[in-house]
Amino acid sequence: MTSRTRPPLTAPPRIRIERPQPLLDCGRYPVKRSLGETVVVEADILRDGHEQLVAVLRHRPPGARDVFEVPMERRQDQPDRWVAAFPTTALGLHEVAVEAWVDRVASWQDELVRKVAAHQEDLTSELVEGAELIAARAASMQGEDRAVVERVLATLRSDAPQEERVQAALAEELGAALARHPDRSGSTRLDPALTVDVDRERARFGTWYELFPRSWGGFAGVERELPRFAELGVDVLYFPPIHPIGRTHRKGRNNAETAAPGDPGSPWAIGSEEGGHTAIHPELGTLEDLRRLTARAAEHGIEIALDLALQCSPDHPWLREHPEWFERRPDGTLKYAENPPKRYQDIYNLSFDTPAWAELWETLLGVVLYWMEQGIRIFRVDNPHTKPLGFWEWLIREVRAVDPGVIFLSEAFTRPALMQVLAKSGFSQSYTYFTWRNSRRELTEYLTELATSEMREYFRPNLFANTPDILTEYLQRGGRPAFEARLVLAATLSPSYGIYSGFEHCENVPLAEGSEEYLDSEKYEIKQRTLDGPLLPLFARLNAIRREHEALQWLDDLVFCETENESLIAYVKGATTGRGAVVCCVNLDPHRPQEGVVTIPHDLGLPHAFTVHDLLTDAAYPWQVGRNYVRLDPAAVPAHVMRVEP
């Protein structure tokens, strides 16, 4: 015989709250929003029977003791789907819950209305029942609302005609008074609550420029160029590691295993007798120089981002002070960093499996807090996928408890799932596969995933067009038109994008055939950099367009268009969100002119006929919903960036 189980000791709630959104991994991680953005919350709210429900969105901002409530309303297209929204007014982690209960008086009123409509003549019993329900609610009321309820009760209990008593029971002022004093007995609350992590705008939108300060005359040289960087529309200047560089196994030019006299070494080989992760290479300047640079940059609307590379040269002080933090082979030798075929004999990785892991974690947190004290609020993290996920969750949480405006960019070119969980774990932005997506199909599929899948809730892409490690074949073989096309794509597809200095000069010579490494890489030698590259006018114009057009500051409104030519890619931003539509079309073929037809979809809300104004050339064209002819010559301008005129 099958064993039976007894009913639960307490009756389960009859209201169910299902499919809440936004919800990430059943509430394991918060969704991301930027300051000022509206958070829309939805849920299915169900109950057996015909009772009338009331639901509210409960919102607790970070650090607040009070909970703010917003009434939820049913969606007209889905009667069991309820929705409400609230604006984000504080940085940090917001708690969001949904609570629902039965409005017994409203349920009685609904039944009364249906009986009146059915011409039921004797409603005496129903009116007595209603009077009892209303009287019970009146017990907790005072002031004018209590007076309104008392007047209705007097009418219901009087000898007035039934029609008059029904009208009193259904009066709007009664409903308004009762709504201000809800009876939440038997309510159901969503558990666990949703969480929303709110960053500042720079976590969502900005233009990055990566440079090696040693190639610009140190901090003082970069400071002299700040007005020009501001004119170009740069929001973030990102520096690779600025720390002392080790001498043991120092790399030479083009990653040679032996350095020649005078070779400066790789900035990622961090640490020497002059200090480690909280020290500055003396040739770049002093700590005071960095503080002054950061302050001067802020005056120009620019932030300084530092590289957080958790690795050490053989000369780093930590190897003497904490040998237990490093992994050794059975013969006692330290393991240097490798990513075959790449070998980094000048770098040792920290071991996060050390028994002293807690001390290591605290020390690394101290490094971040130290640079925050110097005015740094943005960190680009080198290879975070090679460190424990739990470490990043803890470190980012601790840092943002001190300053919720700190931004972390994840430089993780690895498996998709690992890149995604790093973003979920707290990273504000992420490097992407954009660098290697060159065809129309590749770009369309990848950016559609970023913009429309669940990734839009937590993964903020930063489309770097190149890096010191990545010179793609497309750039190597495409000449200046390839650089222009990739620049337009990066700047208009994603709210955040970046270039590494040298891009504006169209530097495209690889170390060897089939390699993505640069010949004479700046990682191993000092260049003499200046802001005079031929692509800087286009760079500046695109950044001005991005600042002037809200559509380009978001990713969630990206819609791709058919072009009938695989060498042309076209997309619309802003049309579906009312941010001012921008139409972009790019020739992906850097060698030949291409022509095709851009088909504007009918469901974007655009008028049938409209004018587009090309923001790159100042030309105007008549366009329409449907098919529009386009021809782009890479020898002239390889792209259209067009505003749809009101």
Closest CA to 360 of 391, 384, 390: 391
Query: Which position among 126, 411, 484, 525 bears the catalytic label?
Result: 411
Cα–Cα distance measured from residue 500 to residue 479, given in angstroms and rounded to the nearest whole number: 17
Backbone CA torsion sign across 243, 247, 252, 256: negative
Q: Which amino acid is at 95?
A: E
DSSP characters over 333-400: PBPEEEETTEEEEEEEEB-TTSTTHHHHHHHHHHHHHHHHHTT--EEEEE-GGGS-HHHHHHHHHHHH
Decide: 297 and 237 in contact? Cβ < 8 Å.
yes
539: left (phi over 0), alpha (psi -120 to 50) or beta: alpha
359 catalytic, yes or no?
Answer: no
Decide: 166 and 112 in contact? Cβ < 8 Å.
yes
Beta bridge mates, 408: 379
The residue count of the chain comes to 646
> Taking CA 498 as the corner, what is the angle to CA 551 and CA 415, rounded to the nearest 5 degrees?
100
Closest CA to 271 of 213, 239, 319, 233: 319
Cα–Cα distance measured from residue 59 to residue 38, given in angstroms and rounded to the nearest whole number: 12
411 catalytic, yes or no?
Answer: yes
Closest CA to 47 of 177, 186, 232, 141: 186
Closest CA to 596 of 583, 610, 585: 585
Beta bridge mates, 270: 245
472: which 2 tokens?
């793609």
Decide: 491 and 547 in contact? Cβ < 8 Å.
no
Q: What's the Rg (C-alpha) of the chain?
A: 31
User: Nearest 5°: phi and psi at 452?
Assistant: -125, -20
SS3 content of the chain, % helix, strand, coil (to 5): 35, 25, 40
Query: Which position among 126, 199, 235, 382 bears the catalytic label?
Result: 382
Beta bridge mates, 498: 208, 464
Cα–Cα distance measured from residue 379 to residue 484, given in angstroms and rounded to the nearest whole number: 28
| Residues with catalytic function | 382, 411
